[in-house]
Homo-oligomer: A and B are copies of this chain.
Amino acid sequence: MKFSNRITATKASPIRRLMPFAIKALNEGKKIYPLNIGQPDIKTPPSFFKVFEDFDKEILAYDQSQGNPDLINAICNYYKNYNMDFEPDEILITNGGSEAILFTIIAVCDAGDTIIAPEPFYANYNGFASAVDVSIEGVETKAEEGFHLPPKSELVKKIKSNTKALIISNPSNPTGVVYTPGELKMLVEICTEHDLFIISDEVYREFVYDGLEFKSMGSFKEAQQRVVIIDSISKRYSACGARIGSIASKNKELINEIMKLCQGRLCVPTIEQLGAVELYKTSDSYFREVNAEYQKRRDIVYNALQKMDGVICREPKGAFYVSAKLPVDDAEKFIIWCLEKFEYNNETIMMAPLEGFYSTEGMGINGVRIAYILNTDELTKAMSVLKKALELYPGRK
């Protein structure tokens, strides 16, 4: 009995696979600042939990495979605020953004096909794709340029006859870049010229700072048949443990195809969907508050990183991540060293090695992703610990 080649080729998540080192450090009594994972400390709006308290059915039955109709309507309404006009039959509810990505990849790619993506990109794109024999072809973006896109020619170079789609996350996990309208337009042009689907992962849509305005791929009417919007309530409403995501596309045929996969897995959790309906009613003031908080955190992290010798990054404009190059031989070794060998007043930090967010071999070796999901006091302390660690690390370069 052998395992499949595709599963052995699938890499463990760079965000989660160093957990055993963290658990060991915790057991040794160290305090760890967890900057590795995008688990916000923001409170979930209480309206969500109210639904759980009030649920009065005696049988927890299946919901519809497409998703709860009230939730679908709530999402249609939500998109109207972003000038996107989706009909209920253009939406599917999924088990988190994760399932939305996996199902979309299966629907647009056969085994052996490729998807292009500016790299570094959300690490789990690699995992989902490789599990179903698809490869992500990375197009390099640079810390020095704030991870903005390279010229069109660089992107086009990566497109081959078996390229079926482009995938982006915008605002980006892991880099925090928010693509400009010009960059998005260029991507739309490329995908139109090369007849590619555009998978636009916009789960951080609300997390945009410095007064920037977010533009969705869904707002390009000329490309609406090729655009698939991936969404999730996890970050938007700090409800990561609900696992409610969605797919939206004006391409009804594509929705019908993906619907077959939704029927296969029967449905998404019934009560969690009811909770999500309430979340989508959350007032704008919630986002304004949350946004202001994240902007403060971004400032703390970015300003601290700027002052550390040899660290390279540009100010991130969205999501709650910053990717940076560190003056170290190997970021993964550095992170493990921080957990195993290092402490500063019995405290240490955990980050995600950036290498796992690339598909191109050898890229991102000295990069890390830092999630600024702690409060400002904690983040300030975490940055001092990081500074100290970089000073003491034997593999410093």
Asked whether, in the complex, the Cβ of B60 is within 8 Å of the Cβ of A241, the reply is: yes
A8 — which chain B residues lie within 8 A by C-beta?
Answer: 257
A150-174 near B? 1/0 per residue, CB < 8 Å: 0000000000000010000000000
A residues 343-382 touching B (CB-CB < 8 Å): none
Nearest-Cβ distance from residue A164 to partner chain B, whole angstroms: 8
User: CB of A272 within 8 A of chain B?
Assistant: yes
A39 — which chain B residues lie within 8 A by C-beta?
Answer: 61-62
Closest B residue to A17 by CB, please name it: B263
Residues of A within 8 A of B (CB): 1, 3-8, 10-13, 15-17, 37, 39-44, 46, 48-49, 52-53, 55, 58-63, 65, 95-96, 98-99, 102, 106-111, 113, 124, 127-128, 131-133, 164, 195-197, 225-226, 238-243, 253-254, 257-261, 263-272
Given A106-B4, A132-B106, do A263 and B59 touch, yes or no (CB 8 Å)? no
Quickly give the copy total for this chain: 2
Nearest-Cβ distance from residue A221 to partner chain B, whole angstroms: 16
- CA A133 to CA B128, docked complex, whole Å: 15
The listed residue (B43, B95, B196) touching A265 by CB distance below 8 A is B95
Q: List 24 A-B contacts (CB under 8 A).
A: A1-B195, A1-B196, A4-B109, A6-B110, A7-B107, A10-B261, A37-B62, A39-B62, A48-B60, A52-B55, A52-B271, A63-B241, A95-B95, A95-B243, A95-B265, A102-B265, A124-B264, A132-B132, A241-B270, A242-B269, A243-B269, A269-B272, A271-B272, A272-B272
Asked whether, in the complex, the Cβ of B243 is within 8 Å of the Cβ of A16, the reply is: no
Closest B residue to A258 by CB, please name it: B7
Closest B residue to A12 by CB, please name it: B260
